[in-house]
Amino acid sequence: MPALPEDRPLTLVDEHAHAWSPRTARARFREGLTGPTAGVAAGHTQANLIAVPADWAYDMLLFCQRNPKPCPVLDVTDTGSWTTVLAEGADLRTDLPRYRVWRDGELVDEPTDVRAHWRGDLVSFLIGCSFTFEWALAGAGVPIRHVEQGRNVPMYVTSRPCRPAGRLHGPMVVSMRPVPPQHVASALRETGLLPAVHGSPVHCGDPSALGIADLGRPDFGDPVDREPDDIPMFWACGVTPQAAVMASRPPFAITHAPGQMFLTDARDEQYRIVA
């Protein structure tokens, strides 16, 4: 596996990143800016990306349908297309901060532009991202520790298997946010109103129930410092398809780098259900 790039959150690079338009954010990424995108273009929906060969696309669609918590689909492209209805004029090959390229389930590259890797048979899936619901958490007064600390959200591979689909199988990946006890009810309520971006947590409390041995050693992202009474809350994560790629070993795939998302033109409130 290639050495991982030392990307830092974009909000540390530019303190105004939260106020960028999605178009501005995508243009900056196209120019080579990298880093986790929590808090960037606040109020606009972020999405995970996975592109697979067309002969694996039905398996991926079925995998997402059978595992809607980690894999809520926002858009699926036509074969070979690098455009999406979620962002006018965007290019899925250039407009994310960083990508991952996979061959036979092995990570072979982490470029900032995948035009050289793109294939005419790829079908891209844009999957809801939990960064989208952080505006609702912040609005409800819930502290977001990884944003406060200028870190990527911690993500963990769990012992909880996803429901298999065709040739695809693998474990669920979760993101974790430490929440003070007095804010747990708000976190449950606010995220539950956004099922298109993972919705309510899959677990709260003891990480060992998910097979997580050490919160200080996430599989993706950065560890975050918790206050003594914080309760770890775990949400299904859109990195789950990458775990399925590693477990199922399709011949080729392109994904986003964990935490480095696609900024869509959609507004977060479009995905909020009426309470």
pLDDT level of residue 80 (50, 70, 90 thresholds) = very high
Residues in the chain: 275
- DSSP code string of the chain: -PPPP----HHHH-TTGGG--HHHHHHHHHTT--S--TTTTTTEEEEEEEEEEHHHHHHHHHHHHH-TTT--EEEEPPTT---BTTBTT--TTTSSS-EEEEETTEEEE--S--TTT--TTEEEEEEE-GGGGHHHHHHTT---HHHHTT-PPPEEEEEEEPPPBTTB--EEEEEEEEE-GGGHHHHHHHHHT-GGGT-S-SEES-GGGGT---TTS-SBS------TT-EEEEEE-TTHHHHHHHHH--SEEEEEPTT--EEEEEEGGGGPPP-
Give how many domains the chain has, as a whole number: 1
Q: Does some domain include residue 103?
A: no
Q: Give the pLDDT of residue 1.
A: 43
Q: Does some domain include residue 210?
A: yes
pLDDT level of residue 135 (50, 70, 90 thresholds) = confident
Q: Which of 5-9, 85-89, 197-201 has the lowest mean pLDDT?
A: 5-9
Q: Does some domain include residue 66?
A: no
Enter the tokens of residue 7: 């990307």
Q: Does some domain include residue 151?
A: yes
**What is the span of the domain harbouring residue 170?**
132-236
What's the CATH number where 167 sits? 3.30.2040.10
Which amino acid is it at 195?
P
pLDDT digits (tens, 9 = 90+) for 93-122: 999 999 999 999 999 999 999 999 999 999
pLDDT digits (tens, 9 = 90+) for 152-189: 999 999 999 999 999 999 999 999 999 999 999 999 99
3 CB neighbour count, 10 Å cutoff: 6
Q: Does some domain include residue 115?
A: no
How many CA atoms, within 13 angstroms, populate the side-chain half-sphere of residue 248?
25
pLDDT digits (tens, 9 = 90+) for 12-35: 566 688 889 999 999 999 999 999
Q: Does some domain include residue 224?
A: yes
Q: Does some domain include residue 198?
A: yes
235 pLDDT above the threshold of 90: yes
Q: Does some domain include residue 223?
A: yes
pLDDT level of residue 47 (50, 70, 90 thresholds) = very high
